Amino acid sequence: MTLFESHVKKNLQKLHRNLYVSRDDPQYYEKILRYKDHDSAEAHYHIGRKFEEEGELAKAYDHYQKAADSDSHYYYKALNASKTLQEQNKIPTLPAKSIRKKIPLYMKAIISFLLLLNIFLLLFLFYKADSINTIASTLKEWGTGKEVVYETEDVPYVFYIPENTPLREVEESIYNKAIGIGKSLSNKTLFLYGVWTVDRTLSDEIFPVRSEKIKDQAFVIAQYNPSLDDSVKIRFLNGQHAFSDSHPVTYVGTNLLRTALEVYMKDHGKAPDSLNDLVADYPQNYLSYIPKERYRNSNDSSPAFTGQGGWVYDPNASNITEMVYPNVADATQVPFNPVEVIIDKDSFTLMVKSAPYMMALKPVGLGKNGSTPQGTFTVRQRVSEPIGFRPDMYGTAGLGMGKYAIHGTYDTESIGNEQSLGCIRLSNEDIQDVFDIVPLGTVVKIVDDPLLMTGYKDRVEMDSAVPDIKPEINQTTQRSFEWAG
């Protein structure tokens, strides 16, 4: 804001050039559509609610549909609102508008010509039917070894599956859904994308895919075209079918180790001699501890598979998956899905995950005036009791990412609000939960898209992976940090 600019403007929404509007304006969303963004999902959704309250259900339904056509976080709200109106049979049929337009003379001439051409072609086909049949019969006699490829239309649907459904039940359920839908599709290939959901209103529901982003959240895909093949092809992504659902803590613990190990190898140019080398004093504290696997509750390591629990660690293996894995017969095939952090600015939420599992979900505070940047960052420091230019400004722990950091705070009122100078704040209790499950080098994605927070199984309790006696390492430093705060 310039020196001579009105102080009122900072509380207004700029629409166009010198046109501003207050959120208190009853016509706020109508003006957003008219002057700023004709496709605003937020505006369409709120106008839809307004019309629904006024009893204008057809108009409400129309706006809900427009909101559901977007990739915003109003997609699900609008979809559910539309569905509710449909189920209650509250959508009246709008009267068709009578449109009469004078057809130009040249258009009449073109139409007449096309009609005559069609009549000529029909007569030609009728009288030449015998010769055409003969040609078709000849063409059907393909030579041995010839391969014929048919082009079909792909029809994508999303299938919402309740979280924590066992994979065997998922396989049976998506198979039955594919059969049910596929039989009604003539010469079309059905692609059914299975996505986890915690929303009971979406559980076991199927909708046409409206956003490509929803495909990225799928953990299983079913493909079916009954006109070409009677079988349903089911593919679990990220190797999930190869791993038992019974101990997700072991799955996450494996990838916690692999994430830290991969970063260690990039930093040192080689694998460590022992997994315990990942747990050292700051700044080499890639991990706070070696997690326990939950089959035999052990965090010991062995150079070869014995089935006696803990972890197999082979520093000479050719890839990260074979380098470390559970030392238990039923859990050796764990796919590598690195630990990642996603921070959604729209919902003030931080998630730690190793797909398909969510490891933590915490509320956060963000930078005022949108100063928390969007983008991809890397955890460069893991520090307990970080020091700033004033006491306790970073809380009890911090994950440094250069100029910005994810850190604790004693100001709990700032959580859920924009009050920092760009850093991501968690309560001191929450940062302690997150600190131990985010290895050094973890990728952090700061987004403004709640859709990226969906599609994961419910939170995995990591307390059971903590060893009975945590290693005595020093994760503090006398260095003073200059994170944005």
Q: Which of 460, 92, 413 is nearest to 249 (CA)?
A: 460
Structure-model confidence comparison of residues 329 and 477, the more confident one: 477
Instruction: Give me the residue spans of the domains in the chain.
Output: 9-87, 153-242, 245-292+335-485
**Considering the entire predicted model, what is its pTM?**
0.58
Residue 156: is the preceding peptide bond cis (ω within 30°)? Answer: no
Distance CA 204, CA 197 (A): 9
Q: Which of 43-47, 52-56, 68-72, 356-360 has the lowest mean pLDDT?
A: 68-72
Distance CA 187, CA 190 (A): 10
Residue with structure tokens 């449109």?
99
Name the fold adopted by 245-292+335-485: L,D-transpeptidase catalytic domain-like (2.40.440)
Tokens of 344: 């959604």
Average pLDDT (69-89) is 74
Place 423 in a pLDDT band, splitting at 50, 70 and 90.
very high
Q: Which amino acid is at 360?
A: A
Give me Rg for the CA atoms of the chain. 30
Mean pLDDT of the chain: 82
pLDDT in the model for residue 32: 81
Distance CA 79, CA 454 (A): 16
Answer yes or no: are the C-beta atoms of 468 and 292 closer than 8 Å. Answer: no
For the segment 350-407, what is each residue's pLDDT rounded down to a tens digit?
Answer: 999 998 889 999 999 999 999 999 999 999 999 999 999 999 999 999 999 999 999 9
Average pLDDT (83-97) is 59
For the segment 200-236, what is each residue's pLDDT rounded down to a tens digit?
Answer: 788 889 999 887 777 878 888 999 888 777 788 888 7
pLDDT in the model for residue 277: 97
- Range among 18-22, 124-128, 340-344 with highest mean pLDDT value: 340-344
Statement: residue 246 has pLDDT above 60: no
**How far is the CA of 375 from the CAs of 91, 188, 197, 200, 342, in angstroms?**
42, 39, 26, 32, 10
CATH no., domain 9-87: 1.25.40.10
**How far is the CA of 154 from the CAs of 188, 226, 262, 358, in angstroms?**
6, 13, 39, 31
Distance CA 194, CA 217 (A): 8
Residue 283: is the preceding peptide bond cis (ω within 30°)? Answer: yes
Tokens of 252: 């996450």
